[in-house]
Amino acid sequence: MGFFDKAFRLKENGTTVRTEIVAGLTTFMTMAYIIALNPNLLTGFGSFGQDLWNGVFLATCIASAIGTLCMGLFANKPFVMAPGMGLNSFFAIVVANIATIVGCSYLDAFRSGLVIIFVEGVIFLILSIFNIREKIVNAIPMGVRLGIGPAIGIMLMNIGFGSNVGIYVSDNPNPFYAMRDFFGSLTAKFAKDTMGDEGYKAMVLAVVTMFIGLFVIIALDHFKVKGAVLYGMLAASVVYWAGEAVVLGINPFASLKDASFVPPFKDMATTTLFKLDFKGFIEIGWFTIITLVITFCIIDMFDTIGTLVGTASRANMLDDKGNMPKMKQALISDAVGTLAGSVTGTSTVTTFVESASGVEAGGRTGLTAIVSAIIFLLCMFIAPVAAIIPAAATSSALIYVGILMLSNLKKIDFDDISQLAPVAIMLLAMPISGSIGHGIGLALITYTLIKLCTGKAKDVSILTYVLSVIFILKFFIPL
């Protein structure tokens, strides 16, 4: 305890080794899906070769661990990193377009695309070292900063009720989602007819699991049980596994029978590890290169800023001015994670919004991040075990954390339209667009225009004007 307390200042942050370990496990469980989903998205679900899938899988584990270790050791923050959702899908589209433009294989295009991620990481590292990214954070008005946490909360709830609980049936290539296709159906019979008998049973099981986990978490937290979120997810997992066996007639652990626990390092070495293709990168064309780098930078920068500020606000890590101590170190860690991803073989690595679940479980220091990083490394060997965690169980945690993050709304001055309007738009924009960065961008534009229209232009800093113009150009100017 003495070593950890000295290294991570546990007592000063009101936490213990046990709490930090539980928080690290909790965060990892809520984002374990990325281990398999990221290589699926980046390789067309393995359609471009199992060796490439294996390479991206290991890159996901290694880059996530490197970035998260930096966050824990360098910034002493409980934030966990991994290849960002949304950014990975965009990267896959970019790679496919590069293959078409240059006339090369997907693998060669993938290696050229990694150079874009590398350049982005270098830019972020330079901006972070010279405090430019921190100045951008400080340029976000206080009202908007206070609203980021609640907006992320609604986004988490939307993920928990929506895309995280998707049911696939054999005769339909598209998934059915809990909120849209189950709760959104006119009647239960209509939902059953649409999904089919087996699909409907699977959906009911997922929804029941989700709510059981949620209410277990709420009950445990009410009685001040440490690790309530983790225990709730475990309880939900047991319910789901039992339901699979009894209701669906499926062995929930069947995938473990033929699973391989040997990391495919050879495939990574031949496909993605240090395989940056600078020659192919230049062949893309400078205008396209600049456009892509700027796009990745803007999205990742504000996604990261939003996650750090929103989650830190919930954990009471912000000072009186709304700034997070050691923001520079956290942003440098984020840049290191992206650089690690580029040289190992994955898209932009960023701070995950699911880190909020670990914060809610009591995580307050870098020890939480280190625990999650260690599990990411272990997943190179135990990935099949992580893969059996039901999505419905993680939804319980996402919904619960999302609800709690709404509490920051009470700090908003509802009588000040220059605070209320940007936050209201951000609350709607984040879950619908699926982008933290775009939500912040719309809030900044709204804030700036309101100040201009109400004769208070001097209240807006020059950097805030610049950021607003950048987002206007991004939204409205097709490049």
Q: pLDDT tens digits, residue range 212-231?
A: 999 999 999 899 887 788 88
Q: What digits encode the pLDDT tens for the residues 391-406? A: 888 888 888 888 888 8
Residue 283 near residue 102, CB atoms below 8 Å: yes
pLDDT band at 165 (very low <50, low <70, confident <90, very high): confident
Mean pLDDT of 72-82: 95
Whole-number Å distance between alpha carbons of 24 and 52: 29
What was the pLDDT predicted at 45? 67
Whole-number Å distance between alpha carbons of 216 and 221: 8
Angle, CA of 151, 157 and 163, to the nearest 5°? 115
Residues in the chain: 479
Residue 312 near residue 324, CB atoms below 8 Å: yes
Whole-prediction pTM: 0.79
Q: What is the mean pLDDT of the chain?
A: 88
Mean pLDDT of 328-339: 94
